[in-house]
Chain A
Amino acid sequence: MSANPADRLRKNLPVPYTKFLPEQLKRNLGKWIDRKFHGYGIIEHISETGDRIFTVKIGTPPNFRLSTSTLRELAKVADELGIGALRFTRNGNIEFITDSLDKALKIKEEAEKMGFPVGGWGPTLWSVNSCTAFLTCTTAVVDSPSITKVLYDALKPYFTGEITLPAKLRINVSGCPSACGGFTADINLVGHYGDAPTYDPERIKLCLPKSAKALETGHVPEVAEVCPTGAIKVYGKPDGTVGLDVIRSKCIACGRCRDVCDWMDFDESKAGVAVLIGGKASNTGTGPWPSVQVIPWVPAVPPDYKEIVAVVKKIVDVWRSHARTGERIGDWLNRVGFEEFYKLLNIPLTRWNQPPRFSGEFGIRQFFQRA
């Protein structure tokens, strides 16, 4: 225990970043003038100082959980063949950093020997981003890490570049509609109840006031207050306790109630994943785009999740055979329209997958359309 524990109120931040950079990167900071790709997993950056730095990208296990022993092995490779540094990307891939193509190729060999695929740049599968779900999360409906694992197993040749794609592909897998794994990528799988939530009748009391008197002053318990559609009603019962009703016709299965109350529940036999597509952040092509729910429900059955794998494969195959080179899924949809996409996959049109209407372009393109 430190002399003054109150010091902890002031966070000890890892700043400035220059303190943490290896020397080779520090002396080339902001001086990069050119780059070259060597396959789909190695990029060369060329500095005006004449230095050349090679980055080797490897895919990691779902939810990016690694044992310290594996990380020590990777660190050993980074010392022996690299410049003694690793980078963790925002999507949980690991990048080795080295100073010659020869060493980069040796790193690739070592990583593959350890079972880590190398790839993920260019017209390939860049990553499958997964939230923690059953590993840690209280609100998860389906287990995104295991869905991610079977998807990666099925799609590995797209990551390594053995089979190429029209353009970059990112997949997000989220265990519940809070979508911590994201739903802004090209293909997104998001777990949800498939119906209105249920609740544990005994334990739901932990999320409600003990006495109906508390409601008389206009107090609304958070589990009802947080609902964006007013689908949860609480009321005083004749015996003075508090009851809760879920109005099914108003519910959109968004999961906000379960966010604030662990005892909201669901029927796992009805739960599944929604498929959203077309999202992208980059300003390339038709610019940043939101993703749209096109398939409201597919069952999520462990351990093979064969329905999910088949749908993702089908979307990728249809995109591969119809898109132009360089067109991400969102760019392609933007050109051909949702109706055409629905026709290609024979997707029924329901109230849960209506084609969206947007008023303009998104992201920084909004700065180029004057009010």
Chain B
Amino acid sequence: MEASQKRAEVDELARSASKVLERLENGPWPSHVKELKKSKYPLEAYAAGLAARKTQWAAGSAKIRYVYTGFIARRTRDGKYAELHFRVWQPSGQIYTTDYLRRLLDFADTYGLGLIEILGQQGMMIISVDPSRADEAIDALRALGTDVGATGDTIRELATCVGPALCEFALYDTLAARDYFLTHPKIYEWMSNQLFPFKFKAKFSGCPMDCTRAVHRSDFGFVGVWEGAPEVDQELLRRKIEAGEVDPKELAARCPSGAITWDGKELKIDGAKCKKSMECIRRAFPAIKPGKNRKIAVLVGGHVKGRFGGKMGKPLAIVNSVEEAMGWVVKTVESWMDGLETGVSKHKDRIGDFIMKVNFKKYTEEILGVKVPYKPSLHGRLGAGAVLDDNERKMWLEWVQNIVKEYEERI
């Protein structure tokens, strides 16, 4: 009796959401609702969420033989709808030939609802695979040369920038580095099970512009850098200046390191001052290029989601290759996992939380056996949220209503 009452919940709510869905289908930007409707996706749970202003999903369960990572099971809180999503490993660089892409689309049509979340951060997600055919689907996916695999308390999808495949700034082969990292025996062993306190991410950025956000969102971040000053081709630079493409005074003024001087004839960069901002390089490339002595900066402990709020990566070392840092990665992960036994790390502690508890100096010296000569910058807890009372919410509501009014009056 109770079950049938509850069952009506999602569908009933969904019916009252038609206006909201209509708004989301229209407008100048491509619509997700339109795409959902083009597939076999049942819109009810989403529509009900919008009507109730609350997500209708709760954790579900699924069992696939010998597969412990890579899929997400959900069911609606009233029990009527269930989903089983596959997260699929992407090739480094996320470039898909149309042949390979079509085979994945066929897969999504055969085993799913004809809907894909293409995002690059956590792997491609095949939405809603038929649970009764999940075993068969895993085999079919493996036959395509990939696999499920980046969910839960384990190695997650590793992000790289496009690197040498399509960028002139790649200071090291980020794509090969990701392949190396994924197939490292320890990482490879860990990724099939969920034995960590929380998720683990590594990101590989080819230059200091850090397209993968390695400084913010990776437990281990690898950022391409160089030593000393950028390389200046004075002859080519002169031609660019004469052609009006580059203003040398602007280059000097824009350098956040104050490392550039221009005497009217020659541009000089002080390598000891240079902070590798890329400001001159991106304006005058290829007349100004990164220096020849190329290295990789290793940052540790960055994350957004973690028990004690977001953290930015701390400086560990500048190395010649990712291989050089693998010993530290393994030691860090092992002691973070051991922490579950000793009580130092708890479920939902990211590596950044673990380092915070142990203390950075102790972590580097006693766990890694490294003396770090760099000074990590400090910041308070990074996070969002507020516990407000009715008066405070009213104050913010009035504040925002003034802005809404300002824009309505403009139209």
Contact = CB atoms under 8 A, between A and B. Distances in A.
Real binding pair: yes
B98 A86 contact: yes
Contact of B23 (A62, A292, A303): A303
B216 A55 contact: no
Contacts of B146: 12-14
A137 B223 CA distance: 31
A274 B385 contact: yes
A297 B393 contact: yes
Given A63-B32, A70-B35, A365-B275, 19 more contacts: A5-B65, A22-B95, A25-B166, A65-B115, A67-B36, A68-B105, A71-B116, A138-B58, A140-B55, A143-B49, A143-B50, A179-B384, A182-B304, A195-B387, A196-B387, A253-B386, A299-B397, A302-B23, A357-B380
Contacts of A90: 94, 119-121, 159, 161, 211-212
Contact of A360 (B127, B191, B375): B375
A366 B374 contact: yes
Contacts of A143: 49-50, 55
Given A9-B66, A259-B348, A285-B277, A86 B96 contact: yes
Contact of B27 (A153, A299, A314): A153
Given A152-B29, A262-B59, A21 B165 contact: yes
Contacts of B402: 346
Contacts of B108: 68
A283 B98 contact: no
A84 B380 CA distance: 47
Contact of B312 (A152, A188, A290, A295): A290
Contacts of B369: none
A370 B403 contact: no
28 contacts: A5-B65, A9-B66, A11-B89, A15-B91, A17-B165, A20-B91, A20-B96, A32-B164, A32-B168, A68-B116, A69-B114, A87-B93, A87-B94, A137-B55, A182-B213, A183-B382, A184-B216, A226-B348, A228-B308, A281-B211, A285-B256, A302-B50, A303-B50, A313-B407, A314-B407, A364-B208, A369-B374, A371-B374
Nearest to B95: A87
Interface in A13-34: 13-17, 19-22, 25, 29-30, 32-34
Contacts of B46: 134-135
A14 B89 contact: yes
B312 A363 contact: yes
B97 A188 contact: no
B85 to A, nearest CB: 7
A123 interface: no
Name which of B101, B275, B387 has the most chain A CB atoms within 10 A of its CB.
Answer: B387
Contacts of B399: 346-348
Contacts of A174: 384
Given A61-B34, A310-B406, A326 B254 contact: yes
Contact of A84 (B36, B99, B182, B346): B99
Contacts of B27: 149-150, 152-153
B256 A286 contact: yes
Interface stretch (B133-141, B261-269, B323-331, B333-341): B133-141
A171 interface: no
A72 B35 CA distance: 13
B55 A11 contact: no
Kindly state the interface size class of chain B when it binds its partner. Answer: 35 or more
B59 to A, nearest CB: 6
A293 B164 contact: no
Contact of B98 (A84, A299, A300): A84
Interface residues of A, number: 164
Contacts of A329: none
A296 B386 contact: yes
Nearest to B157: A90
Contact of A14 (B90, B314, B380): B90
Interface in A137-193: 137-140, 142-143, 145-146, 149-150, 152-153, 156, 174-175, 177-180, 182-184, 188, 190, 192-193
Given A6-B66, A71-B101, A368 B83 contact: no
Contact of A12 (B19, B97, B142, B393): B142
A256 B387 contact: no
B186 interface: no
A208 interface: no
B194 interface: no
Given A64-B117, A252-B383, A296 B166 contact: no
A146 B29 CA distance: 12
B96 A60 contact: no
A17 B176 contact: yes
A167 to B, nearest CB: 12
B56 interface: yes
B219 to A, nearest CB: 15
A279 interface: yes
A217 B396 CA distance: 45
B250 to A, nearest CB: 9
Nearest to B216: A184
A21 B254 CA distance: 37
B94 A366 contact: no
A311 B102 contact: no
Contacts of B121: 90
Nearest to A301: B53
A91 B213 CA distance: 11
- The 8 A-B pairs at the shortest CB distance, nearest first, are namely A134-B49, A190-B384, A253-B385, A283-B208, A360-B377, A153-B27, A303-B23, A152-B29
Given A65-B116, A360-B375, A284 B396 contact: no
A59 B31 CA distance: 11
A75 B282 contact: no
B203 to A, nearest CB: 9
